[in-house]
Structure 1
C-alpha cells in the first residue's frame, strides 16, 4: 500500500466546514452509538475510553453514564475537545497504532476510526489488550455501496471518493461488512454485530453529511481525472434534492468481550 497520512494531515480540523460536518455526523449517528452503549449496560463506575473522539459527543455521553473522572477521550487532534476536558474527562492526543496504552478499561468505543486505518488488525489487537478482563470493545464502522445508488453521478462520485480515501488514508469501505469476524481474530469472545442501512433522502442530515464528506476529496478526485467539476457539483446537488433517495450507506456496530 502507498504511504498513507493521518486524518489531521488530510483534513483541516480547524476549518468551520469540518466543524459543521462533524456536527452533522453527531446528529445522524449519536442515536446509533447510544443504542450500542445501552446494549452493553454502560453505567456508573465503568472505566471508559473513547478512541477518535471528534467533537466529543459520545465521550460526553460516557461521562454522563460512568462519571467524567472515569472517561478518557483520545484523538489525533484535540482542538475540538476543550469543553470535554473542562468537564473533567481526561483528553489525550493519542495514536491508537503507535502510542502506549492510555490505561485499562471496562469499555473501549470507537466510531468511524478503524475503517480509516491502514493497519486495522493491529488497532483491534491493541485495543483488545487495553481491556480489563470482562471488558467490552465496541467498534462502529461505515460501508458504502456506490453501485447501488439510484443516481449514476452520485455512485461515480462515491466510488471516486472511496479510491482517494483508500490511497491517502488506508480506508477500506468494505471492511465494516466483515464484522464481527475481526474482533474474534483479535481474541475477543461473545462477538456479535448490528447493522442499519437507513434511506439516504435528499436534504436529510445523512444526505448532507455524505455530501460534505464527498466534498472533502473534491480536489483529489479532480486530480485523478475520473470526474469533472460539473460531475461533482451535480452529485452534491443531488444530495440536496428531496426527490433523491437511495440505500448506499451501511452503519455496523460490533462488540466483543475480553475473556
Structure 2
C-alpha cells in the first residue's frame, strides 16, 4: 500500500496533529514571513499550497488582495474564514491539475519533500506563477549540524527518524537542496536561497514539534528497527530536560521571480 502524508502518517484526525502544526508554525513562520514581506504587496493574488493551519495564508491576507489556501484535507482550516474572511479555502490535491489561474505569489512549505512525484509538482507550481510573480518554496532538510555527540540517543533518533519517513511516505530530506538548480532550469530569475535551524530545548517550538512528531512515529520507528526502545525513550527523556539544547532540522527557503 502506498502511504501518504496526512493520511496514515500525520493525519488531521490525529489528536495531537493540530498541536504539532502549531509548534511548526511558531518554529518557522517568522522566517517565512521575513522572506514573504519582501514580495507581498496590496493588489496581489496569492496561493498558499499545503496551508496547514492557515497562519501564512492569514498573514498574506493582511497584505494582499486575494489569498487561496489549498490543502488536501481542510479540516484544520475550517475556522480560518472567521478570522480572515478574505481567504478562500480550497480542498484540492496539488498532484492533480488545478484550474485556478495564475498568482503573483505561490508559496509552499514542507509539502513537496513528502511527495513521490515532487518534481512534477514543482513544475505544476511553477506554471501557476504569473509573469513577474514570485515562487517561494520551503523544505525541511536533515539537520545540517547537530551539537549532541554522535552516539547520543537524541542524535540517533533525530538522524534515523528520516529513514522511517522515507520508507513509509517517501519523504526526501535532501530535496530542498535541489531548488537552486531547478528554479533556473524552469526559467526563473532573481533566485535566492537561505538556511535556518531552530533551537531545540524542552520548551521551544522546535522542541515541542519534535516531541510530538516522535511520539506519533514511535511505533513505526521501533518496528523499522532504526533505533531500539531504550534509545528512543532516552532521547525523549533528554528532550524534556530543562538544560537540553540542540538544533532542529534545517529549513531551506528558496525564492525566484518569473520573468515578464
TM-score for the superposition, normalised by structure 1: 0.90
Q: Match of 1:217, SS? A: helix
| SS of 1:110 mapped into structure 2 | strand
Which residue is 1:13 aligned to?
Answer: 12
Root-mean-square deviation over aligned CA pairs: 2.0
Match of 2:98 in 1: 100
Separation (CA, whole Å) in 2 of partners of 1:39 and 1:252: 17
Deviations 1:62-113 (A, max 9, x none): 111113xx11010111001122234232111111111324321000011111
Report if aligned partners of 2:161, 2:226 keep a CA contact under 8 Å in 1: no
The range that moved more, 241-250 or 214-223, is 241-250
User: Matched residues in 2 for 1:29 and 1:147: separation?
Assistant: 17
- 1:37-64 alpha-carbon deviations (Å, 9 max, x no partner): 1122x02110000000001111000111
CA contact (8 A) 2:5 2:11 kept: no
**2:58 alignment counterpart:** 60
Matched, 1:81 2:77: yes
Q: Contact between 1:128 and 1:187, CA under 8 Å: does it hold in 2? A: no
Greater alpha carbon shift after TM alignment, 51-60 vs 19-28: 19-28
Deviations 1:112-137 (CA, angstroms, capped at 9, x unpaired):
11121112211111011011111110
Report the equivalent of 1:216: 216
Query: How many Å apart are 1:31 and its aligned residue?
Result: 0.6
Q: What is the Cα deviation at residue 147 of structure 1?
A: 7.7
Q: TM-score, normalised by structure 2?
A: 0.90
- 1:239 is displaced (CA, Å) by 1.6
Q: Mind listing any 5+ residue stretches in structure 1 that lack a counterpart?
A: none
Moved more, 122-131 or 246-255: 246-255
In terms of mean alpha carbon deviation, does 50-59 or 2-11 score higher? 2-11
1:59-208 → structure 2 map (5 Å cutoff) = 59-67=57-65, 70-86=66-82, 87-145=85-143, 148-151=146-149, 152-208=152-208
User: Could you list the runs of 4 or more consecutive aligned residues of structure 1 that deviate by over 4 angstroms after TM superposition?
Assistant: none
Cα distance in 2 for partners of 1:234, 1:138 equals 38
- Decide whether aligned partners of structure 1 residues 200 and 160 sit closer, same or farther in structure 2, where only a CA change above 3 A counts: same
Paired positions, count: 255
Report if the CA contact (8 A) 2:144-2:250 is conserved.
Answer: no
Question: Partners of 1:166 and 1:205 in 2: how far apart?
Answer: 24
